[in-house]
Chain A
Amino acid sequence: MQTFSFASGERKFFGICMIIGAISLLITFLTDDPLNSRFWSNILINGTLFTGVAFISLFLYAAKIIAYSGWHTQFKRIMESYYQFLGVGLVIMFILGLGTVFGFHSLYEWNNEELVAKDPIIQGKSPFLNWKWYMIATVILGGSWLFIGRQLRTLSLREDKEGDSTFRIHKRMKIWAAIMLPLGGFTSAAAIWMWLMSLDAHWYSTLYGWYTLASWLVIAVAMLILTIIYLKSRGYYPHVTREHLHDLGKYLFAFSIFWTYLWFSQYMLIWYANVGEETVYFQNRLENYPVLFYANLVINFILPFFVLLRNDTKRKKGTLVFVSIFLIIGHYIDFFLLVKPGVHYTTNKILAMSGGAEATAELTRLTIPGFLELGTFIGFFGLFGYFVFRSLSKAPLVPAKDPYLEESLHHHVA
């Protein structure tokens, strides 16, 4: 079977992306406020976004094994390469975790002792919101994903060589996948609470974990579509047809609606109940980030809903690429909105405490992503793409002895 060769042009492309990212991060760091809030929050946005994509690919992969799904088998190596990125992503999250231990960033309000001392609400939450639990979430929960991901990948590669009609290896993959599903479902929520929701330490929402998970799902499927279409344009995957793309398009459509459903459920309940400690989250975003707040909904719901509603748009490469690119941008905006307002609030508070009004005056509020944000995103994208393509080139593109390969080759939906 064919093996993907990581062309030098692609290496150069991802390398340039990474250099752009590094330069952007450097400029951000040099022009930042005293607490480097812009620098660290950019790392947090992209770190959670790409780690999340890696995690959700693993989750989707496990779900497909458990559900006896066969149609994705041809391109399951791409999903495998995606979750190989977990190692790199978790290192980024680990660095952020070290920041909560040693205090070289101040993204989290609960990590600032002076603020917590004055704040009975955060004091009540501090048994959970502290650096120990942050590290546990990152290292142990993230590590468990990484471990299961490694197991599944190893078994999948072994199946290529030793697979036979007893499907012994596939059955062992089923066991790991069955462990992954409940484990990933619960632990990802806990990790999301620590990484993202605790940025607004006073506020909480029981839907938040699901909501972020849905965001990851949409980005992962959009990237999967783009990768497949790119690889097809390079001549790989001759048997991945528009039938497979149609099903991926359905995923994109369905998960976009799922995301909107959760967005709306969270927003409407808070709007309806009108309790001050809950509405503060949306008030901050509506007042200070109105453009992104509505752009988020338009790009992530209205655009995919009306473009992908028709049958034939899910089968055409052009529309799929268009929607996928917009959804990746849209969900980047979503993550921007999850992270930046909370970080800005915390940074303002800390600066006001230490330096009075003068210090807060120099902190400009970034209401839309600037060029440095864009550059950082491109940098992380390059990092992700580089690792994905590198691990893609290490194994045959099509798993020759997967029991479901034949089904995938004859997949037909319409």
Chain B
Amino acid sequence: MAKFKNVLFGLYDDDEILVDAVKEARNQKLDIMDVFTPFPVHGLDPALGLSESRLHIAGFVFGLIGAITAMGFMSWISVSDWPIIYGGKPYWAVLSFIPITFELTVLFSAVGMVIVFLTICGLGPGVTEKVLDLRITDDKFCLAFDVSKMEEEEQSELKKFFEQTGASEINTKTI
């Protein structure tokens, strides 16, 4: 059974106001649920205190797998499975394998990174994400708090926080 969350969110008109609000929220030790923006906002990640993405490690590992696959497979074919002499070269002609090794490194790395990215974001064919407000894909910048377990007083303080930091709208939604 899916758990429903009560979300209190404020919409901002500008990315810089949002970044300032995020910094203020972190100063006040408020527990931010998430931030939604129509485009990547510069400096938002450090303001949110997010650690650096580890996606590139996945990229490196997949690239390594690709390189080993290509080199290993071609070596196996041309040395033991079906050795053919061409152009007077040795069976294990490493240099002629390097272009394909390079190609497969790039291919594995790129495809692997896409799959990892979709997996950790929970995206895939047929997945629909519940959107707080449709305008966050257009021109609004949203800062959201999970208020499912909060008392009325705390919620009203959060609302005050939104007003102070210059939010243009304050809404609640259950998702």
Residues of chain A touching chain B, judged by Cβ–Cβ distance below 8 Å, are: 264, 267-268, 271-272, 274, 309, 311, 412
Contact = CB atoms under 8 A, between A and B. Distances in A.
12 contacts: A264-B98, A267-B95, A268-B95, A268-B96, A268-B99, A271-B95, A272-B95, A272-B96, A274-B87, A311-B52, A311-B56, A412-B43
A268 B87 contact: no
Contacts of A264: 98
Contacts of A412: 42-43
B124 interface: no
Task: Report, nearest first, the 10 A-B pairs whose CB atoms are least far apart.
Answer: A268-B95, A271-B95, A272-B96, A274-B87, A274-B88, A264-B98, A412-B42, A272-B87, A268-B98, A311-B52
A8 to B, nearest CB: 43
B60 interface: yes
Given A272-B87, A274-B88, A412-B43, A309 B98 contact: no
Contacts, number: 18
Interface string B84-101: 000111000001101100
Interface in B61-88: 87-88
A309 B61 CA distance: 13
Contacts of B98: 264, 268
Nearest to B42: A412
B166 to A, nearest CB: 23
Nearest to A312: B52
A272 B96 CA distance: 8
A309 B105 CA distance: 15
Nearest to A271: B95
Binding site of A, secondary structure by majority: helix, strand, loop or mixed? helix
A271 B56 CA distance: 35
Given A268-B96, A272-B96, 6 more contacts: A264-B98, A267-B95, A271-B95, A311-B52, A311-B56, A412-B42
Nearest to A273: B87
Size bracket, chain B contacts: 10 to 19
A311 B60 CA distance: 12
B98 to A, nearest CB: 7
A274 B88 CA distance: 9
Nearest to A309: B60
A311 B57 CA distance: 11
Contacts of A309: 60
Interface in B24-52: 42-43, 52
Contacts of B88: 274
Contacts of B87: 272, 274
Contacts of A272: 87, 89, 95-96
Nearest to B60: A309
Contacts of A274: 87-88
Nearest to B45: A414
A282 to B, nearest CB: 11
A271 B95 CA distance: 8
A412 B95 CA distance: 40
B92 to A, nearest CB: 14
A6 to B, nearest CB: 39
A414 to B, nearest CB: 8
A412 B56 CA distance: 20
A297 to B, nearest CB: 12
A123 to B, nearest CB: 32
B86 to A, nearest CB: 10
Contacts of A267: 95
B89 to A, nearest CB: 8
A412 B41 CA distance: 13
Contacts of B89: 272
B3 to A, nearest CB: 36
Nearest to B43: A412
A236 B88 CA distance: 60
A278 B56 CA distance: 41
A264 B96 CA distance: 11
Nearest to B56: A311
A300 to B, nearest CB: 16
Nearest to A265: B99
A268 B95 CA distance: 6
A25 B1 CA distance: 83
A268 B99 CA distance: 10
A311 B51 CA distance: 13
Contacts of B52: 311
Nearest to B88: A274
Contacts of A271: 95
A272 B89 CA distance: 8
A250 B42 CA distance: 20
Nearest to B53: A311
Contacts of A268: 95-96, 98-99
A83 B117 CA distance: 45
Contacts of B99: 268
A144 B96 CA distance: 41
Contacts of B43: 412
